[in-house]
Amino acid sequence: MLKRELLKIAIVVLATILSMGLHALGPPPVTLDPDRLSVVANALSFVGTATLFFLVTYYLIATVFLRYERKLYGRKLHRALLFGCLVGGIWWVGMIEGMFAFGTDFADEFLMGLLDFIPIVALCLLLSTFLVEEKTEPAGHRIKWGAILTEITVFSALFTAGRGLRYLTVGSGYDLVDLPAVMLWTAAFAVMIALTYVFLKSAFREASALRSALRFTFILFGIHYALFVYFVPLIFSELFIDLTVVLATDLVLVLLASFITAQVVERVAMPITLDSMAVKK
Amino acid sequence: MKILIRVAAFYGLTFVFTIILAVVQQLSGLGDG
Protein backbone atom coordinates (compact mmCIF):
# COMPACT_ATOMS: atom_id res chain seq x y z
CA MET A 1 0.00 0.00 0.00
CA LEU A 2 2.81 2.38 0.97
CA LYS A 3 4.83 1.31 -2.04
CA ARG A 4 1.85 1.99 -4.27
CA GLU A 5 1.38 5.45 -2.75
CA LEU A 6 5.08 6.25 -3.15
CA LEU A 7 4.98 5.12 -6.78
CA LYS A 8 1.93 7.30 -7.34
CA ILE A 9 3.74 10.30 -5.83
CA ALA A 10 6.82 9.58 -7.98
CA ILE A 11 4.65 9.56 -11.11
CA VAL A 12 2.98 12.81 -10.02
CA VAL A 13 6.44 14.38 -9.58
CA LEU A 14 7.47 13.15 -13.05
CA ALA A 15 4.32 14.61 -14.61
CA THR A 16 4.98 17.91 -12.81
CA ILE A 17 8.56 18.02 -14.13
CA LEU A 18 7.27 17.27 -17.63
CA SER A 19 4.63 19.98 -17.29
CA MET A 20 7.07 22.61 -16.03
CA GLY A 21 9.56 21.70 -18.78
CA LEU A 22 6.91 21.91 -21.49
CA HIS A 23 5.55 25.20 -20.18
CA ALA A 24 9.06 26.65 -20.13
CA LEU A 25 9.21 25.97 -23.89
CA GLY A 26 5.83 27.60 -24.51
CA PRO A 27 4.98 31.25 -25.03
CA PRO A 28 5.84 33.48 -22.05
CA PRO A 29 2.94 33.98 -19.63
CA VAL A 30 1.34 37.40 -19.35
CA THR A 31 3.51 40.08 -17.77
CA LEU A 32 4.75 38.97 -14.37
CA ASP A 33 4.67 42.34 -12.67
CA PRO A 34 5.44 41.78 -8.94
CA ASP A 35 2.60 44.15 -8.05
CA ARG A 36 0.15 41.83 -9.85
CA LEU A 37 1.42 38.63 -8.24
CA SER A 38 -0.53 37.12 -5.37
CA VAL A 39 0.92 36.89 -1.85
CA VAL A 40 1.63 33.20 -2.55
CA ALA A 41 3.48 33.89 -5.81
CA ASN A 42 5.37 36.75 -4.15
CA ALA A 43 6.48 34.41 -1.37
CA LEU A 44 7.21 31.28 -3.43
CA SER A 45 7.95 32.89 -6.85
CA PHE A 46 5.94 32.20 -9.98
CA VAL A 47 7.77 28.95 -10.75
CA GLY A 48 7.53 27.73 -7.15
CA THR A 49 3.80 28.42 -6.99
CA ALA A 50 3.18 26.79 -10.38
CA THR A 51 5.19 23.72 -9.32
CA LEU A 52 3.21 23.39 -6.09
CA PHE A 53 -0.02 23.87 -8.04
CA PHE A 54 0.81 21.11 -10.53
CA LEU A 55 1.93 18.73 -7.76
CA VAL A 56 -1.38 19.11 -5.92
CA THR A 57 -3.46 19.06 -9.11
CA TYR A 58 -1.80 15.99 -10.59
CA TYR A 59 -1.99 14.17 -7.26
CA LEU A 60 -5.74 14.76 -7.13
CA ILE A 61 -6.24 13.80 -10.79
CA ALA A 62 -4.21 10.65 -10.13
CA THR A 63 -6.33 9.83 -7.07
CA VAL A 64 -9.60 10.23 -8.97
CA PHE A 65 -8.25 8.26 -11.96
CA LEU A 66 -7.05 5.33 -9.84
CA ARG A 67 -10.33 5.23 -7.94
CA TYR A 68 -12.60 5.16 -10.98
CA GLU A 69 -10.60 3.82 -13.94
CA ARG A 70 -11.54 0.18 -13.37
CA LYS A 71 -15.17 1.05 -14.01
CA LEU A 72 -14.36 2.24 -17.53
CA TYR A 73 -14.51 -0.08 -20.52
CA GLY A 74 -11.57 -1.42 -22.50
CA ARG A 75 -7.97 -2.30 -21.83
CA LYS A 76 -6.01 -0.40 -19.21
CA LEU A 77 -4.09 1.84 -21.62
CA HIS A 78 -7.29 2.66 -23.49
CA ARG A 79 -8.93 3.61 -20.19
CA ALA A 80 -5.95 5.82 -19.31
CA LEU A 81 -5.99 7.47 -22.74
CA LEU A 82 -9.73 8.06 -22.52
CA PHE A 83 -9.58 9.58 -19.03
CA GLY A 84 -6.43 11.60 -19.76
CA CYS A 85 -7.71 12.98 -23.06
CA LEU A 86 -11.07 13.97 -21.56
CA VAL A 87 -9.66 15.67 -18.45
CA GLY A 88 -6.76 17.17 -20.44
CA GLY A 89 -9.23 18.22 -23.13
CA ILE A 90 -11.18 20.30 -20.63
CA TRP A 91 -7.94 22.07 -19.67
CA TRP A 92 -6.99 22.56 -23.33
CA VAL A 93 -10.32 24.04 -24.40
CA GLY A 94 -10.71 25.86 -21.06
CA MET A 95 -7.39 27.69 -21.55
CA ILE A 96 -8.72 29.36 -24.69
CA GLU A 97 -11.11 31.44 -22.55
CA GLY A 98 -8.00 33.41 -21.58
CA MET A 99 -8.09 35.20 -24.93
CA PHE A 100 -11.41 36.80 -23.91
CA ALA A 101 -10.50 37.34 -20.26
CA PHE A 102 -6.97 38.70 -20.73
CA GLY A 103 -6.90 39.71 -24.39
CA THR A 104 -4.15 37.22 -25.18
CA ASP A 105 -3.60 35.62 -28.60
CA PHE A 106 -5.64 32.57 -29.61
CA ALA A 107 -2.46 30.80 -30.81
CA ASP A 108 -0.73 31.34 -27.45
CA GLU A 109 -3.69 30.08 -25.43
CA PHE A 110 -4.15 27.13 -27.78
CA LEU A 111 -0.49 26.19 -27.33
CA MET A 112 -0.65 26.66 -23.55
CA GLY A 113 -3.73 24.45 -23.48
CA LEU A 114 -1.85 21.78 -25.41
CA LEU A 115 1.00 22.04 -22.90
CA ASP A 116 -1.55 21.40 -20.12
CA PHE A 117 -3.11 18.53 -22.04
CA ILE A 118 0.08 16.52 -22.70
CA PRO A 119 1.23 16.06 -19.05
CA ILE A 120 -2.28 14.98 -17.94
CA VAL A 121 -2.40 12.30 -20.64
CA ALA A 122 1.16 11.25 -19.75
CA LEU A 123 0.21 11.12 -16.06
CA CYS A 124 -2.72 8.77 -16.73
CA LEU A 125 -0.65 6.56 -19.05
CA LEU A 126 2.15 6.27 -16.47
CA LEU A 127 -0.30 5.52 -13.66
CA SER A 128 -1.97 2.91 -15.83
CA THR A 129 1.33 1.30 -16.80
CA PHE A 130 2.72 1.00 -13.29
CA LEU A 131 -0.27 0.91 -10.96
CA VAL A 132 -3.19 -0.60 -12.84
CA GLU A 133 -3.73 -4.27 -13.41
CA GLU A 134 -5.21 -5.44 -16.70
CA LYS A 135 -8.75 -6.69 -16.43
CA THR A 136 -8.95 -10.42 -17.00
CA GLU A 137 -11.85 -10.00 -19.39
CA PRO A 138 -11.84 -6.62 -21.09
CA ALA A 139 -15.47 -5.86 -21.84
CA GLY A 140 -16.08 -5.32 -25.50
CA HIS A 141 -18.64 -2.66 -26.18
CA ARG A 142 -20.61 -1.34 -29.08
CA ILE A 143 -21.04 2.39 -29.18
CA LYS A 144 -24.47 3.68 -30.14
CA TRP A 145 -23.58 6.97 -31.75
CA GLY A 146 -27.22 8.08 -32.03
CA ALA A 147 -27.71 7.92 -28.27
CA ILE A 148 -24.35 9.53 -27.60
CA LEU A 149 -25.00 12.35 -30.03
CA THR A 150 -28.35 13.07 -28.39
CA GLU A 151 -26.80 13.15 -24.94
CA ILE A 152 -23.98 15.44 -26.06
CA THR A 153 -26.46 17.78 -27.75
CA VAL A 154 -28.78 18.03 -24.73
CA PHE A 155 -25.93 18.42 -22.22
CA SER A 156 -24.08 21.01 -24.33
CA ALA A 157 -27.24 23.00 -25.06
CA LEU A 158 -28.10 23.20 -21.35
CA PHE A 159 -24.58 24.22 -20.32
CA THR A 160 -24.20 26.74 -23.14
CA ALA A 161 -27.60 28.28 -22.41
CA GLY A 162 -26.77 28.53 -18.70
CA ARG A 163 -23.42 30.18 -19.37
CA GLY A 164 -25.03 32.51 -21.89
CA LEU A 165 -27.55 33.54 -19.27
CA ARG A 166 -24.72 34.30 -16.87
CA TYR A 167 -22.90 36.42 -19.46
CA LEU A 168 -26.05 38.50 -19.92
CA THR A 169 -27.07 38.77 -16.25
CA VAL A 170 -24.27 38.36 -13.71
CA GLY A 171 -21.79 39.58 -16.33
CA SER A 172 -18.74 37.93 -17.73
CA GLY A 173 -16.40 40.88 -17.73
CA TYR A 174 -16.12 40.44 -21.51
CA ASP A 175 -16.88 43.04 -24.09
CA LEU A 176 -20.36 42.35 -25.46
CA VAL A 177 -18.93 42.91 -28.95
CA ASP A 178 -17.04 39.65 -28.40
CA LEU A 179 -20.20 37.80 -27.34
CA PRO A 180 -20.61 35.71 -30.54
CA ALA A 181 -17.01 34.52 -30.27
CA VAL A 182 -17.41 33.91 -26.52
CA MET A 183 -20.58 31.89 -27.16
CA LEU A 184 -18.79 29.85 -29.84
CA TRP A 185 -16.03 29.04 -27.37
CA THR A 186 -18.64 28.31 -24.68
CA ALA A 187 -20.35 25.79 -26.98
CA ALA A 188 -17.00 24.10 -27.67
CA PHE A 189 -16.27 23.97 -23.93
CA ALA A 190 -19.74 22.57 -23.28
CA VAL A 191 -19.20 19.83 -25.87
CA MET A 192 -15.90 18.95 -24.19
CA ILE A 193 -17.61 18.56 -20.80
CA ALA A 194 -20.46 16.63 -22.44
CA LEU A 195 -17.94 14.21 -24.00
CA THR A 196 -16.49 13.67 -20.52
CA TYR A 197 -20.00 13.07 -19.17
CA VAL A 198 -20.81 10.52 -21.87
CA PHE A 199 -17.54 8.60 -22.04
CA LEU A 200 -16.88 8.46 -18.29
CA LYS A 201 -20.47 7.55 -17.51
CA SER A 202 -19.73 3.99 -16.50
CA ALA A 203 -17.40 5.34 -13.80
CA PHE A 204 -19.92 7.50 -11.99
CA ARG A 205 -23.29 5.92 -12.74
CA GLU A 206 -25.41 4.83 -9.79
CA ALA A 207 -29.01 3.76 -9.43
CA SER A 208 -30.00 7.28 -8.43
CA ALA A 209 -29.76 9.89 -11.21
CA LEU A 210 -29.13 12.61 -8.64
CA ARG A 211 -26.28 10.71 -7.01
CA SER A 212 -24.77 10.02 -10.44
CA ALA A 213 -24.98 13.70 -11.34
CA LEU A 214 -23.45 14.69 -7.98
CA ARG A 215 -20.61 12.22 -8.38
CA PHE A 216 -19.82 13.42 -11.91
CA THR A 217 -20.08 17.09 -11.01
CA PHE A 218 -18.16 17.18 -7.76
CA ILE A 219 -15.63 14.38 -8.24
CA LEU A 220 -14.91 13.50 -11.86
CA PHE A 221 -15.35 17.04 -13.19
CA GLY A 222 -15.29 19.41 -10.24
CA ILE A 223 -12.06 18.52 -8.48
CA HIS A 224 -9.71 19.16 -11.39
CA TYR A 225 -11.86 22.02 -12.71
CA ALA A 226 -11.80 23.83 -9.35
CA LEU A 227 -8.01 23.71 -9.42
CA PHE A 228 -7.94 24.80 -13.06
CA VAL A 229 -10.10 27.82 -12.28
CA TYR A 230 -8.15 28.83 -9.18
CA PHE A 231 -4.74 28.79 -10.91
CA VAL A 232 -5.10 32.44 -11.99
CA PRO A 233 -6.00 33.87 -8.54
CA LEU A 234 -3.31 31.69 -6.98
CA ILE A 235 -0.70 33.38 -9.17
CA PHE A 236 -2.20 36.85 -9.60
CA SER A 237 -3.77 39.08 -6.99
CA GLU A 238 -6.98 39.50 -8.96
CA LEU A 239 -10.17 37.85 -10.20
CA PHE A 240 -10.89 36.05 -6.90
CA ILE A 241 -14.53 36.95 -6.80
CA ASP A 242 -15.09 36.64 -10.55
CA LEU A 243 -13.58 33.18 -10.72
CA THR A 244 -15.40 31.99 -7.61
CA VAL A 245 -18.64 32.98 -9.34
CA VAL A 246 -17.47 31.18 -12.52
CA LEU A 247 -16.65 28.01 -10.58
CA ALA A 248 -19.88 28.01 -8.57
CA THR A 249 -22.11 28.64 -11.57
CA ASP A 250 -20.28 26.09 -13.75
CA LEU A 251 -20.65 23.43 -11.06
CA VAL A 252 -24.37 24.16 -10.74
CA LEU A 253 -24.75 24.10 -14.55
CA VAL A 254 -22.89 20.80 -14.88
CA LEU A 255 -24.98 19.32 -12.07
CA LEU A 256 -28.21 20.45 -13.73
CA ALA A 257 -27.07 19.39 -17.21
CA SER A 258 -26.01 15.95 -15.93
CA PHE A 259 -29.24 15.40 -14.05
CA ILE A 260 -31.57 16.70 -16.77
CA THR A 261 -29.70 14.87 -19.55
CA ALA A 262 -30.03 11.62 -17.63
CA GLN A 263 -33.73 12.24 -17.04
CA VAL A 264 -34.65 13.40 -20.52
CA VAL A 265 -32.37 11.35 -22.73
CA GLU A 266 -32.07 8.09 -20.85
CA ARG A 267 -35.51 7.69 -19.33
CA VAL A 268 -37.85 9.50 -21.67
CA ALA A 269 -36.49 10.09 -25.15
CA MET A 270 -33.79 7.48 -25.50
CA PRO A 271 -33.89 4.63 -23.01
CA ILE A 272 -30.38 3.50 -23.96
CA THR A 273 -27.66 3.55 -21.35
CA LEU A 274 -24.07 2.45 -21.32
CA ASP A 275 -25.32 -0.84 -19.87
CA SER A 276 -27.03 -1.59 -23.12
CA MET A 277 -23.96 -0.35 -24.96
CA ALA A 278 -21.78 -2.89 -23.21
CA VAL A 279 -22.13 -6.13 -25.07
CA LYS A 280 -20.17 -9.01 -23.67
CA LYS A 281 -18.13 -10.76 -26.32
CA MET B 1 -19.49 8.06 3.50
CA LYS B 2 -15.70 8.29 3.53
CA ILE B 3 -15.65 9.64 -0.02
CA LEU B 4 -18.32 12.20 0.87
CA ILE B 5 -16.18 13.49 3.74
CA ARG B 6 -13.12 13.67 1.48
CA VAL B 7 -14.94 15.55 -1.26
CA ALA B 8 -16.51 17.92 1.26
CA ALA B 9 -13.06 18.47 2.79
CA PHE B 10 -11.59 19.27 -0.65
CA TYR B 11 -14.21 21.90 -1.47
CA GLY B 12 -14.23 23.24 2.08
CA LEU B 13 -10.45 23.63 2.19
CA THR B 14 -10.37 25.15 -1.31
CA PHE B 15 -13.02 27.65 -0.32
CA VAL B 16 -11.40 28.52 3.01
CA PHE B 17 -7.97 28.85 1.37
CA THR B 18 -9.44 31.17 -1.25
CA ILE B 19 -11.13 33.36 1.36
CA ILE B 20 -7.95 33.57 3.43
CA LEU B 21 -5.90 34.46 0.36
CA ALA B 22 -8.40 37.11 -0.70
CA VAL B 23 -8.48 38.65 2.80
CA VAL B 24 -4.68 38.61 3.13
CA GLN B 25 -4.33 40.30 -0.25
CA GLN B 26 -6.97 42.86 0.60
CA LEU B 27 -5.16 43.67 3.85
CA SER B 28 -1.80 43.90 2.09
CA GLY B 29 -3.30 46.15 -0.58
CA LEU B 30 -2.71 43.77 -3.48
CA GLY B 31 -5.15 43.57 -6.39
CA ASP B 32 -8.94 43.56 -6.13
CA GLY B 33 -9.10 40.89 -3.40
In this predicted structure, the answer to whether residue A272 has a pLDDT above a threshold of 80 is: no
How many CB atoms sit inside 10 A of residue A128's CB? 24
Compute CA distances A44 → A39, A226, B27, whole Å.
9, 21, 19
The answer to whether B31 contacts A236, with C-beta atoms less than 8 Å apart, is yes
Q: How confident is the model at residue B33 (pLDDT cuts 50, 70, 90)?
A: very low
> pLDDT value at position A267?
64
Question: Whole-number mean pLDDT of chain A?
Answer: 88
> How many CA atoms lie within 13 Å of A266's alpha carbon, on the beta-carbon side?
20
Burial profile A71-93: b = 16 or more Cβ within 10 angstroms, e = fewer: ebbeebeebbbbbbbbbbbbbbb
Complex-level ipTM:
0.83
Q: How confident is the model at residue A281 (pLDDT cuts 50, 70, 90)?
A: very low
Chain B closest-CA separation from residue A135 CA (Å) = 24
- Asked if B11 reaches chain A (Cβ–Cβ under 8 Å), the answer is yes
Amino acid occupying residue A102:
F
Please state, in angstroms and rounded to a whole number, the distance separating the CA atoms of residues A235 and A48.
10
Confirm whether pTM is higher than 0.95: no
* Residue A37, beta-bridge partner list: A236
- Asked if A222 reaches chain B (Cβ–Cβ under 8 Å), the answer is yes
Please state, in angstroms and rounded to a whole number, the distance separating the CA atoms of residues A215 and A17.
30
